[in-house]
Every structure is written in structure tokens, then in C-alpha cells.
Amino acid sequence: MTDPRRLVPRTDAVLADPRLVQARARLGAAAVKQAVVDAQARARAGELAPHAVADAAVAALPLRATTLRPVLNATGVVLHTNLGRAPLSAAAVEAMATAAGFVDVEYDVATGARARRGRGALEALLGAVPDAEDALVVGNGAAALVLATTALAAGREVVVSRGEMVEIGDGFRLPDLIASTGARLREVGTTNRTHLRDYADAVGPQTGCVLKVHPSNFRVEGFTSAVEPAELATLDAPLVVDVGSGLLAPDPLLPDEPDVATALRAGADVVTCSGDKLLGGPQAGLVLGRADAVARLRRHPLARALRVDKTTLAALEATLRGPGTPTWQALRADPERLRARAALLAELTGGVVVPSDGAVGGGGAPGLALPGWAVALPAAYAALLRAGDPCVVGRVERDRCLLDLRCVPEQDDAVLARAVQACGS
């Protein structure tokens, strides 16, 4: 009798299977070979018939060349930090794909000469914020702040209120960040109250800049006072305002969120924010402000180390010029529509429709509830849905798994319903 293990096909024979040849072009040789080697091992162990090795390898291929998995965000949290914050608009995705190859990011096709890098994105940014004289794009909001404090205050002092010495998330502390730039923090005021005279007493020849930070992720209530940018702008020092969330202009939906245009109009020299929070674009740090101040930042050697790639510039421009972002839509989702969608999902899955408050997330607008509806399922569904394909992330609350459709694109409702049904079977 021949040992069945000897019938296991050789690696190169299996790799010649047309399906695996095709997969190699899409996923890379290593991933395909690994799937084949694993299938052969199973055949040798007797778990698989030798002739089924190629089929098993095909079935076990990874879906894509990245291990990042798309997720249906059914948490109701719009800017979910762990889920990548802002989802990009179709226009931004297309722009990124277009920019992925060779592209005139820094080239003038009319003259054949070098051109200003990312000029289209910068023009779009200045078009969106006419109060800004100039703009700059770096890797993220933290990088924008590092660049501003380094260029304006390295070796000197950054004057900042004790009420604004914030930790953003994941242990990221603003004071530590600023200290790392070689600027010295000059803290003024107290946790709950800081006055203009506190700043005025601290500003002097050692001052590099005055910094105002929006304490995005918490609120101080009661006996409090803070100094607005308009007053800080009267001090004899450059004023940097970190508005955080990337709201370019006031939004009545988010009355407590500061915006870039208002800070500039109040007299800020430099305003920094993120691209992938309320703006709904790619991860980026935006710097907008007075021409001379932005030029100081642009000329600093650190600017080169913090610059963004062509796909980010493309996505940012498309976000600014294009249609309303998914973030914008999720924030404004009509509660009645959410209720109707939830009712259908509940009917298809045996869940129960319950009221559900969504949240802005991403450390923005703490305490602001976005009224809506969710489908409640037994808590055990949460883990099953996360393990499924597509991966669905719900919110576990009071021993129930809530699926809030606010951040689920409506065209994915049917897919979501099938994912839930698959857990129940």
C-alpha cells in the first residue's frame, strides 16, 4: 500500500494552478505559497484528500494584500479612533487611487518645471477658509502643533493655560509633546480659571508664542473662566490656536466646537487642526494663518520631516472640493430614517428597536448626544459579529449588543442584516 502522504502534490505543481497564479499577482508570492504549504500539511496529516490541496489553498487565501480589515461601524460613534476616525468620501477614495501612480504633485506639466507641492490641496484649503492668508499640510494634528511650537518657540517659552494642559488620548499629552520640541512650557492660571492678566504677566522677551488649546475631550463646569483668542491676540506675542477637530467654519450642530475661521478672525497667527476629525478627510494636520507666520513654519527643516504624501494631498483636496463627507452625513443622519432602517433590520434579525444616542467621538464634542435608534441583540452577538465577514462592530451596553446604523452606509444595510442572520444560524 502506498503511503497517502506520498500522493500529496508538490508545491510547484499546486502553485501552477491558474487560480493561484492569478492570486500571486494580486496578493504576492509569499501569501500564496503559505496557503499551499498549509494545505499540504493538512493533507499529510490526513485532514484533507491529496487531490483537494489546490482547492483548500485557494479557499484559505487571504482576501487582500493587507491585514487591515474593513469594518462596518455599528457603534454610533462617528469618529471612532480605533476604527480609523473619518471614513473617506467616494470622491476622496477615487482621488487617492488616481494619485497612487505617477502624478504631477510637484510638477508643472505645461512648462515641465518643478511646481509647488500639493498646490491644488492648498488652494482648496484657502478657498474653504478665506480668512487664512496661507496654509500648510503635515502628517496629523500633533505634527502641526509640534511644527508650530518648534518654529515659533524652540529655546523659548510657550505660554499656555493650566486648564489646557490636556491629554488627547492613548497617553498622548500635549505638554509632553511641546516639551519634546525644545520649547519651555510657561503655565499660567489654574485648572478652572485663567485670566488675560495671567498671560500678560507671563509674556516677555522669552516668549516664543502664546498657545490656546481646545480641550476637546472634556468639559469643565462651574466656576470657570478662559481667555478667548480675540483677547489673547492683543498680547505682544504670536498666537497659536489648536482647535483640534478641524471644523473650518462655525457649525450650528456643534455649538461648542471652535472653528478655524473664527479663530483667525479673532486674530490668531496660526491655527492648527486635524484633517480626519470633523473635516471628514484623510489623516493630516492643517496649519492655516498669517502669511509670515505660516512661512516661518514652512521654512523650518522639521516641515520636510512632517510632510504628507501625494495620496493624502489628493484625498484632502477631494474632501474640501467634493460632496458632503460620510462624517458630515453621519452627524446629520435623520433620526426617523435611522428608526425606519433599524425597524427593518430588527424584523430581519429578531432584534428589538431601542433609542440610541450616537456620539461625535475622536475626542470631539464630549457630552453631545446625537439622538437615533439601534437594534438590540443578545450580548453574545457582539463577538460573533466581530469575527464575521464582513466584520461588524457594535456597541455593548447593559448586557446587550446594540447595532446603531448612523455610521453604516445605507447601501450596506442588507449586508449587515445577512451578517447578523449568519450569527443566529
Ligand X SMILES: *Cc1c(COP(=O)(O)O)cnc(C)c1O
- What lies within 8 Å, CB to CB, of 372 at 6+ separation is 76, 333, 335, 338, 339, 355, 356, 357, 358, 404, 405, 406
Instruction: Provide the minimum distance between the beta carbon of 271 and ligand X in the complex, in angstroms, as a whole number.
Output: 11
Kind of pairing between the strands at 395-397 and 157-161: unpaired
Task: For ligand X, give the closer residue by CB, 136 or 374.
Answer: 136
Q: Of 245 and 325, which has the nearer Cβ to ligand X?
A: 245
Could you give the CA distance from residue 395 to residue 150 in angstroms, rounded to a whole number? Answer: 40
**In the bound complex, what is the minimum distance in angstroms from residue 194's beta carbon to ligand X?**
16
Phi, psi of 341 (to 5 degrees): -65, -40
Q: Which is nearer to ligand X, 350 or 367 (CB)?
A: 367
Q: How far apart are CA 190 and CA 163, in angstroms?
A: 6
Q: SS3 of 270, please? A: strand
Residue with cell 499546486: 14
Q: How far is the CB of 345 from ligand X (least distance, A)?
A: 32
CA distance 20 to 10: 14
* Least separation in angstroms between CB 173 and ligand X: 11
Which is it for the CA torsion 254, 256, 260, 261, positive or negative? Answer: positive
CA atoms within 13 A on the CB side of 160: 27
For ligand X, the closer of residues 229 and 363 by Cβ is: 363
Shortest Cβ 212–ligand X spacing (Å):
10
Separation in Å, CA 302 to CA 147, 269, 275, 329, 340: 7, 19, 19, 36, 51
Contact call for residues 416 and 392 (beta carbons, < 8 A): yes
The footprint of ligand X (CB under 6 A) covers 140-142, 145, 168, 213-214, 216, 242, 244-245, 274, 285, 363
Distance of CA 125 to the CA centre of its chain: 18
Distance between CA atoms of 172 and 174, rounded to whole angstroms? 7
Q: Which is nearer to ligand X, 145 or 333 (CB)?
A: 145
> Which C-beta is closer to ligand X: that of 120 or that of 282?
282
Cβ-based nearer residue to ligand X, 105 or 213: 213
Separation of CA 116 from chain center? 26
Which amino acid does the sequence have at 128? A
CA distance 219 to 221: 6
Q: Minimum CB separation from ligand X for residue 344, in Å?
A: 36
> Is the CB of 168 or the CB of 382 nearer to ligand X?
168
Write b or e for each residue in 341-352: b if 16 or more Cβ atoms lie within 10 A of its Cβ, otherwise e.
bbebbbebbebe
Which of 150/245 has CB closer to ligand X? 245
Phi-psi region of 208 (alpha: psi -120 to 50; beta: other; left: phi over 0): alpha
Identify the helix (H) or strand (E) that includes residue 56: helix 53-60
Residue placing its CB nearer to ligand X in the complex, 213 or 417: 213
Single-letter residue type at 311:
T
| Between 40 and 150, CB nearer to ligand X | 150
Q: How far is the CB of 213 from ligand X (least distance, A)?
A: 5
